[in-house]
Amino acid sequence: MAGSLGKLIDAWAPDQLTGLDAFFLAAESSRTPMHIGACTIYDPSSAPGGEVRLKDIMKHVEDRVHRAKTFTQKLKQVPLDFDRPYWVDDREFDIEFHIRHIALPQPGDWRQLCIQVARLHARPLDLSKPLWEMTVIEGLDNIPHVPKGSYAIVVKIHHCAIDGMSGVKISEAIHSLQPEDQVEPYETLPRRRREVGALEQVARAGFNNLIKPWQAVIHAGRMAPGALKYAVGLSRDDFRLFGRTVPRTRFNGVVSGQRAIESVEASLGEVKKIRALVADATVNDVVLAVVGGGLHRYLESKDELPEDSLVAMAPISVRKEMEQGSLGNQVSAMSIPLGTDIPDALERLQFTHDAAMKSKTASNAVGARELSEVSKLAPAMLSGVATRLYSRLGLANQLSPMFNTVVTNVPGPPVPLYMAGARMVTSCGIGPVMDSMGLFHAVTSYCGHLRLTITACREMLPDPAFYASCMQESWAEYIALAEAAEKAAMAAKEPSAGNGAKRKTKKRKTKKRSDDRPTLQ
């Protein structure tokens, strides 16, 4: 009974964008479409009859749109942008508007796919509709390790509607663990959310703006004790680390409207071996060090490598269990140096591990959840105007960057997924690019493999294949170090076995000639 009442209340409660959601919406322009997404490749041989048609994909998605509110809700603006917009049901929802179909020309190779995905990602979404699109791409016949007849689906969802973790939930809504998936019936309770009228919007906006100063005081009080305790415990080395300046690079200016996309893959088994090079290192530490090594190679080849380390922004999910199905962003962020000024790979991994630990300590002390709540305190009208002016006046070329790039890690399932009966082969995460942040690294994992995908402004990264090769070389360097360490560890165990063999040999030499000595393998 209580659960049904909760669903009924949820169905009729107005759903409003958070401050961070509103920022992503205000940052939207023809040059900076603020959607995130993925390019996922499927093998239809597992589907009934070994074939999947466009109408099969459409029906599959249409039967499951009730599993995630993102699919059928659109934005409703508050008059004069006096407050943040609301989510409302699209009563004219049409699945055929959101799912499109194209094909690659021959030969249908990897580079052609990356170019087509970049073109699709550069196009803004229609803000008058539910903020998502799917494009089916056929003709993937000459991509290594991809079965013949496979197809890709490029998904775009506006960042004001989801973050990385809620994106995983949307992926779960349209995938299954078996080729055949049973669709649960629609809920019997009212599914439509009531729309907030103009008068109610203005009244709510006045109230929201009135209480913001009090909310600011409350949040400051919650964060102050942890921040003070953390600051007291800082050492001189800590201050030096956080006092680093963020250098300006080619990726930290005004971006164009064109995009470049590339991707590299590594085995999670190899990543675990690399982790062992540094005590208590994590997968995130390894990824940050690999990105640092790739950037070091790329910028050095251009004679543009700064003396100071580049700094990455790493998002942190603060989404609670009860918020798993909600729209919008529930994230905070850490600022982590990448060690691009350190040529030695092992030293760089140790450095990124130490830097990440210090950033986590700071985030935990202040409260990642509290930091994310700060974005709600700015008046909606002022924050929206400030964001648009920043873009239109080209201030990214005038102001110092807060960070150089984004590195985000979204764990995926360790088991195969299926959509319309077709097995997922691999998936590449795609991120937004905006002024002062022309380079985005999305890390995803699936079935024992980890994939690092780069989204960039094409003018800032005119040679994405070369940048990918720099990342691949960085991976290879760490894999070689891990293999060498593994061999050294095995060799360290051999002397005891060898001494035992020699002792046996001495005993045998009293009975046999020297040419009969056993050989160690």
Give the tens place of pLDDT for each residue, 290-330: 999 999 999 999 999 999 999 999 887 544 454 444 555 45
Domains 13-182 and 199-409+440-484 share a fold: yes
- Which pLDDT does position 317 carry in this prediction? 56
- Torsion sign over Cα 424, 73, 382, 392: positive
- Which pLDDT does position 194 carry in this prediction? 59
**What is the C-alpha to C-alpha distance for residues 155 and 139, in angstroms, rounded to an integer?**
18
- Which pLDDT does position 21 carry in this prediction? 85
Residue with tokens 């803000």: 127
Helix 198-232 to helix 380-392 angle (10° resolution) is 80
Domains of the chain by residue range: 13-182, 199-409+440-484
Q: Which residues of the chain have pLDDT under 70?
A: 1-14, 163-168, 185-244, 317-332, 360-398, 495-521
- Which pLDDT does position 97 carry in this prediction? 96
- Which pLDDT does position 201 carry in this prediction? 62
Class of domain 13-182: alpha beta
Q: Where are the alpha helices (DSSP H) in 175-242?
A: 198-232, 236-242
**What is the C-alpha to C-alpha distance for residues 64 and 59, in angstroms, rounded to an integer?**
9
- Which pLDDT does position 84 carry in this prediction? 84
- Which pLDDT does position 316 carry in this prediction? 72
- Which pLDDT does position 415 carry in this prediction? 93
Q: Where are the alpha helices (DSSP H) in 345-463?
A: 345-366, 368-373, 380-392
- Which pLDDT does position 206 carry in this prediction? 60
Contact indicator for 54, 431 with CB cutoff of 8 Å? no
- Which pLDDT does position 26 carry in this prediction? 87
- Which pLDDT does position 8 carry in this prediction? 45
Edge-first strand order for the sheet with 73-76 is 15-16, 86-89, 73-76
**What is the C-alpha to C-alpha distance for residues 411 and 450, in angstroms, rounded to an integer?**
9
Pick the closest to residue 53 from 138, 112, 170 (CA basis). Answer: 138
DSSP assignment, residue 160?
Answer: T
Residue with tokens 């799912």: 99
Residue with tokens 């964001």: 387
CA 400 to chain centre: 24
Strand positions, DSSP E, 77-220: 86-89, 99-103, 132-138, 151-158
Query: What's the token pair of residue 413?
Result: 């399932």
- Which pLDDT does position 376 carry in this prediction? 52
Three-class secondary structure of residue 135 per DSSP: strand
CATH of domain 199-409+440-484: 3.30.559.30
- Which pLDDT does position 517 carry in this prediction? 32
Q: Where are the alpha helices (DSSP H) in 27-84?
A: 54-62
Edge-first strand order for the sheet with 418-419 is 99-103, 132-138, 151-158, 35-43, 422-430, 418-419
Contact indicator for 163, 375 with CB cutoff of 8 Å? no
CA atoms within 13 A on the CB side of 230: 18
Pick the closest to residue 349 from 293, 308, 298 (CA basis). Answer: 293
Q: Across the strands, what pairs with 409? A: 443
